[in-house]
Structure 1
Amino acid sequence: MRGRDFRLAYGATLLGLVFALWLGGVRSATVVAMLAVLEVALSFDNAVVNATVLRRFDERWQRLFLTVGILIAVFGMRLLIPLVVLVAATRQNPFHVLSSSVKDPNGYSHEILNVQPLIAAFGGVFLLMIFMDFFLSDHDQIWLPFFERRLAAFGERFKPLALEAFQVVGVVLFLGVAALTFGKEHQLGVPTAGVIGLVTYFTIKRLSDSAADKSESLAAAGSDTPPQGRQALMLFLYLEVLDASFSFDSVMGGFSVTVDIALFTIGLGIGAAYVRSLTVFLVRKKALDKYVYLEHGAYYSIGILAVLLLVEIGKDVPDWVASIAGTSMIVAAFVHSVVKARGESSAGADLPAAHS
């Protein structure tokens, strides 16, 4: 990996650990390191999926993703969302929650469980829709034919609006059952949070589809010009929301380590910097073209994560389960891609040379 691509991550690590040592010594630095590792482990699929969108941009927008985008990721998702969770759980003003979470983090740990089903419903539905949107469409590359061809064939039976309506009905029915069974403590909150997840998904999808259509029209006209202006901005916003939705697992997992907002933000912020740098690295090395099944593995990881989040509406799932399950799909897709690439190279080498 080129050091230039990871300079931001290395700098964030150094500054974060120094600040953590200043706040609470070795113990705080250890907590920050654990959170950073957790963020990277749970968000590797995030980097792969982000790269599929980021590769449409030119280098200027890629730099913007690494600079302005990381500020949004850290201060938006890794600071604001945990703070909102604590405010919702304790029903106290943000300033009191922020100071209390730093002074007495253990006193707030049980409060997080009160709103975890709502966060899980929102994040689970959003990610589940992303998973279905990918596999209900036909793709040139197929990794696991038995599963993917059947889902693609099912999706082809319906017109786009009918398919979306079918998905919405299915999700809403699930949310209703969840609220009446394993989400009894939040019978109104669980379906409401899930519906908000649905609305968020379709809103972002409409914006991204509009930008993608413009990009495809440019390509059809014989132009390789990356999206600019309004189209690039919409894709950039889509990328930020997508990154935020992927972060629900690491945010919820981070609460199992600490609810000290300062350490929380530093640790997950360091991890987010590595995820961002890895995204740009994948784009610049054109790894997604070389490792053809990597994108499929990432979307399988999304599906697993969505299911685990929906399970968390009623039952806590250990963080290591999500980490291992999601990462294993990425690793399997990577290994299979390498084997396929080597097989094709060997086949090409065995072909007789053409004579002029």
Structure 2
Amino acid sequence: MLKNFRGSIVCVIIGLCLAFWRGESVGASGVAFMLTTFAISLLEVAISFDNAVVNAHKLEKMSKVWRRRFLTWGIFIAVFGMRFLFPVLIVAIFAHISFVEVIKIAFANPDEYVRHLHETHAAIVTFGGMFLLMLFLKFFIDKNKKDHWISPIEKPLAHLAKVKFVNEVIALVVLGVLIYFLPEHERKVCALSGFVGIVLFLAIDSLSHYLESKHVGEGAVRLTGTAGFAMFMYLELIDASFSLDGVLGAFAFTKDIVVIIVGLGVGAMFVRSLTLVLVDKQTLSKMRYITNGAYWAIGALALVMMRSAVEEVPEAVAATLSIGIIVVSVVHSVILNKKALK
């Protein structure tokens, strides 16, 4: 297990050194910047704990080559692409500012960047919330789903799969309810961003499913080539949705964009390492309910994100919910395993 976290430990050391240098270079306390970076890393791990389980669930189907790429190329995309450039892109689109200009603002005038982020906050979390809600619905509304953790709820949800387009209808109803409670000036942009989140999920999920069905035959389970790439992009988009909450929450600690990138990057690296441990140790097959718990945590996170579009929700709420639900699912799985051994 230690070898899987070796890279993460190195990243922590490098990240803290960078934070110290950043603090000293701007005339602030290097130690204070180090502590802030560490706090942001912990927040990222806490919020993305269920993300690690989902990643492991999907990585089990991928070839070793694409697993390695997800843990190498993927970490670069996760840190600089999803946790920095992706929010910049959203700000550029909704604030009607050029992409390059937003990057300049992020480094030169962090207060203005934070202002733009707050102005586009509702659109950002609506997009991420709807994408994660679709992920939640796809897992539970499945006629082939056999393992039920919270049976009184999960069994009826599975039966809903008989209804055509039920996932899309539920998502649109939720989006409609959210739009109703939003201020009038935010309704149009949030309706658009939420709809884009739904459509983007359907597009990448359909492509992944199509390529998987073409490449996975009887007894085969490893996705390679185009199918591996599609699954890779699918995981990156899921990661992007999880990262939105972390990016927004990080600004509660500091407005220094360098410290935020380093802190989120270190946290993302630990989530990748945790994913690798779950795959190598075959934890998902040993812990029967942990996958269900992770998807319940995703559903909770989606609702928290959408609620934050209407009123402020402390970042600790999302982190506590995610970890709490997964811990309960793990404990229940352990109890089940002990009963099976008797």
2:43 to 15, 38, 44: 38
Aligned pair count? 335
Question: Which has the larger displacement, 177-186 or 36-45?
Answer: 177-186
Partner of 2:205: 205
- Is contact 2:52-2:271 (8 Å) kept? yes
Q: 2:320 aligns with which of 321, 324, 342?
A: 324
Cα distance change, pair 91–131 in 1 and its aligned pair in 2 (3 A): same
Unaligned runs of 5+ in 1: 348-356
Answer yes or no: is 1:182 the counterpart of 2:182: yes
Determine the structure 2 residue equivalent to 1:288. Answer: 284
The residue aligned with 2:151 is: 145
1:78 correspondence with 2:83? yes
Q: Secondary structure in 2 aligned to 1:10?
A: helix
Query: Match for 1:257 among 237, 253, 256?
Result: 253
- Cα distance, 1:315–1:329 mapped onto 2, change above 3 Å: same
Q: Could you state the TM-score of these two structures normalised by the residue count of structure 2?
A: 0.91
Equivalence for 1:11:
10
The alpha-carbon deviation at position 90 of structure 1 amounts to 5.9
- Per-residue displacement from partner, 1:38-71 (whole Å, max 9, x unpaired)? 1000001000000011011232322211111111
Higher alpha-carbon deviation: 105-114 or 12-21: 105-114
Q: Which moved more, 1:133-142 or 1:301-310?
A: 133-142
2:34 to 29, 36, 39: 29
Deviations for 1:114-146, whole angstroms, at most 9, x for unmatched residues?
111001111111111111111111422111111
Structure with larger Rg: 1
The residue correspondences of 1:1-356 to structure 2 (distance < 5 A) are 2-24=1-23, 25-87=30-92, 92-94=97-99, 97-102=102-107, 104-106=109-111, 108-138=113-143, 139-156=145-162, 158=163, 162=164, 164=165, 166-219=166-219, 224=220, 226-345=222-341, 347=342
Q: TM-score, normalised by structure 1?
A: 0.88
Flag the 1:176–1:291 CA change in 2: closer, same or farther, 3 A: closer
SS at match of 2:160: helix
Residue 102 of structure 1, CA deviation: 4.0
Output the CA distance in 2 between the equivalents of 1:111 and 1:241.
23
Percent identity among equivalent residues? Answer: 35
Instruction: Label 1:90 to 1:58 Cα distance change in 2 as closer, same or farther (>3 A).
Output: closer
**Equivalent position SS for 1:60:** helix
Structure 1 residue 20 displacement after superposition: 0.8
Residue 177 (structure 1) shift: 4.2
User: Which residue identity does 1:195 align to in structure 2?
Assistant: F
- 2:308 aligned partner, one-letter code: E
Give the alignment's Cα RMSD to 1 decimal.
2.0
Amino acid aligned to 1:323: A
Distance in 2, matches of 1:209 and 1:316, equals 36
Amino acid at match of 2:196: I
**What CA distance in whole angstroms lies between the structure 1 residues aligned with 2:78 and 2:293?**
24
- Structure 2 distance, partners of 1:91, 1:27, is 35
Paired with 2:206 and 2:153, the residues of 1 have a C-alpha distance of: 27
Distance 1:140 1:86 in 2: 42
